[in-house]
Homo-oligomer: A and B are copies of this chain.
């Protein structure tokens, strides 16, 4: 474990606790307010809450693992020897990343056929992206890390292509009230996701130690809160706008 200062340890603990609160609060909000959107959008909103709930669970585990890996007594920090299990993040992503793409597809309310095809395709690509990253993440050998990073980038770029080219027609066909917001959700998703492959490269360019660890934990937490909680709220707003348009029409 890197030799953190008390300040670094606390900052990460506070940020992990912030994520627990943000994910839990978003989950409850989405589930309680799903009745506010029209029936066809309720699955998308519920699913957005499922994603933040899964993240809530994993942040709880990550927080406990972090606070068990160190003790602070009389202002002095010591590693307890217990491992900090960062792999909970990969377990979380395996579930949440495919579902995030499915909630975006669902709120667009395409035909049943298109919804199925695009959800399966994007979901499998996302699963592949996370799974291919893992062998690199647990390796200390730079060439191995680079290999798996490159393999993982292929489905990532394919997802970007699908979101911007494959979905273009479907987004143009959205009602005007929701169109620009759906488009923004795509950009925000890709911007938040871009953080992960960049962080992955850190150990390979020599950015390690306590500062790197602190930065990585805080960065992952912010990227997760944006990609899951903020996107979830935006999916709800899109569903609300589309419900109003369709009731009025």
Could you say which residues of chain B place their CB within 8 Å of the CB of A22? Answer: 95
Distance from A79 Cβ to chain B, minimum over Cβ atoms (Å) = 8
Query: Which listed residue, B6, B58, B75, touches A21 by the CB 8 Å rule?
Result: B58
- Which A residues are closer than 8 A to B by beta carbons? 6-7, 10, 13-14, 17-18, 20-22, 24-25, 28-29, 31-36, 39, 42-43, 46-47, 49-50, 53-54, 57-58, 61, 72-75, 80-83, 85, 87-88, 90-92, 94-95, 112, 138, 241
Assess A72 versus B82: contact at CB under 8 Å? Given A32-B31, A33-B42.
Answer: yes
Could you say which residues of chain B place their CB within 8 Å of the CB of A80? Answer: 73
Query: Which listed residue, B42, B46, B53, B75, touches A83 by the CB 8 Å rule?
Result: B75
Assess A91 versus B17: contact at CB under 8 Å? Given A10-B85, A39-B36.
Answer: yes
Assess A21 versus B91: contact at CB under 8 Å? Given A29-B50, A46-B32.
Answer: yes
8 contacts between A and B (CB under 8 A): A10-B85, A18-B91, A21-B91, A25-B54, A29-B46, A29-B47, A72-B82, A74-B81
Query: Which listed residue, B25, B34, B46, B92, touches A50 by the CB 8 Å rule?
Result: B25
Could you say which residues of chain B place their CB within 8 Å of the CB of A42? Answer: 33, 35-36
Complex contact B50–A28 (CB within 8 A): yes
Complex contact B32–A34 (CB within 8 A): yes
Q: Which partner residue on chain B sits nearest A32 by CB separation?
A: B46
